[in-house]
Homo-oligomer: A and B are copies of this chain.
Amino acid sequence: MTSPVLHDHAKNIIERCREMARITDVPGETTRLFLSPATRDVHTLLLRWMREARLEGRVDDAGNVRAVRPATDRSAPRVLLFSHIDTVPNAGAFDGPLGVVLAIEAIAILADEQLPFAIEVIAFGEEEGIRFGFPFFGSMAVTGQVVPETVERRDSQGNSVAEALYEFGLRPQNIARSCALAPETFAALEVHIEQGPVLEAENLSLGIVEAIVGQSRFELTFTGQANHAGTTPMSLRHDALAAAAHWVTEVERYAANYQQLVATVGQLEVSPGAVNVVPGEARATLDVRHPKDESRHAAVANLLTKAELAAAQRGVRVSAKAMSKQAAVPMNRELTMALQQAAARAGHETHAMFSGAGHDAMILAPQVPTTMLFVRSPGGLSHHPEETVRVVDVEAALGTVLQFIHGLQPPGR
């Protein structure tokens, strides 16, 4: 495969992502929630592109669009290429669609080439979790993780997942049967935009994801004493905001010392919140992520202790409430190495990194060997109409995926 040809394919991938982005439930922006009217049009478009790549597509009962490129041998093992097609409100064109469109393009390029495995493409119908308030429905469906409570969840209009599936012409009661991944699936690869600034800072097209970070979220409440800002000397204050602010700077400083750690205070609310009143209470959130769970736990313990110290210095109390946590998910070591080597063969230096955001790869990884390829996000921008990709980077990703497919060894062969 020569580069000028790949270049044209890369341009085609980008054009198709932009074409898909024009299919929207909200005119003037790209907003495509799970099972929406626009989603049906995207299904039609995807099935057409699949046909053009000689794939017979179908929509499974969880709303995922999928197709299999068979191997010569009907009992051959299977490789999965996947990403998602739903969006956040007012989204860009590439978060999700890039991986799906690139997979179809890769299969079109393979044409009649004979491979010792089948290739399945899945466009997950729900990853962002906007409509029903929880993410990864599509990948949970193919991994057998959809339970009755899942389909009973309701959107803001009061419609349940089950009702929305029925209305779309699907049969939620068949999810377990019609959605499950073929047991012969031995490798899975997601291509996705980075959604961060790391590759841009590294001046590289591609990142090899070694793990998806674990996450801990806390809510902290600093309780001091509201006092008159004029009549209360500094030495007699119990300023809840000063304690919280001190702690915010500690969070920043601590996380900066550890390369793979991120820690964020994204919310901070002060009460009573008047210009002339010493704050009596400050409520803050803490979001800590690290690719190693033990490092994350150590960071959390350290940061909560720092909150207590910052509070105690000012005669302020602090309480911390765990809101959620999620373990880190490592990608499959062998596949990840194979992906890195495929990129090298395709002539691309890569950056070994972790994903700070959740992806369907995280849901699949515990059940099937999974790896993930990041494509540089110009400006680190995503979940934004100006989210974009560079042709050269998409070309690199496509070349890498083709090399990855060519280099894959089915198990036991």
Contact = CB atoms under 8 A, between A and B. Distances in A.
Contact of A270 (B256, B268, B382): B268
Most buried by B among A235, A239, A241: A241
A266 interface: yes
Range for the number of chain A residues in contact with chain B? 35 or more
A277 B380 CA distance: 13
A231 B213 CA distance: 10
A16 interface: no
Given A230-B262, A244-B245, A355-B231, A252 B239 contact: yes
Given A231-B356, A249-B249, A255-B234, A267 B270 contact: yes
Interface stretch (A65-73, A74-82, A170-178, A195-203): A195-203
A264 interface: yes
B287 A231 contact: no
B273 A277 contact: no
A322 interface: no
Interface string A314-339: 00000000010000000000000000
A301 interface: no
Copies of this chain in its oligomeric complex: 2
Interface string A230-247: 111111100101101110
23 contacts: A194-B231, A228-B356, A229-B266, A229-B287, A230-B358, A232-B380, A234-B252, A234-B262, A234-B263, A239-B252, A241-B265, A242-B248, A244-B245, A245-B268, A246-B249, A249-B249, A266-B270, A266-B273, A266-B276, A266-B277, A266-B279, A267-B273, A268-B282
Given A230-B357, A234-B255, 14 more contacts: A194-B231, A195-B228, A195-B231, A196-B228, A196-B236, A198-B236, A217-B275, A230-B289, A230-B355, A231-B357, A241-B265, A245-B249, A249-B249, A266-B272
Instruction: Give the 4 A-B CB pairs with smallest separation, nearest first.
Output: A196-B231, A230-B356, A245-B248, A229-B264
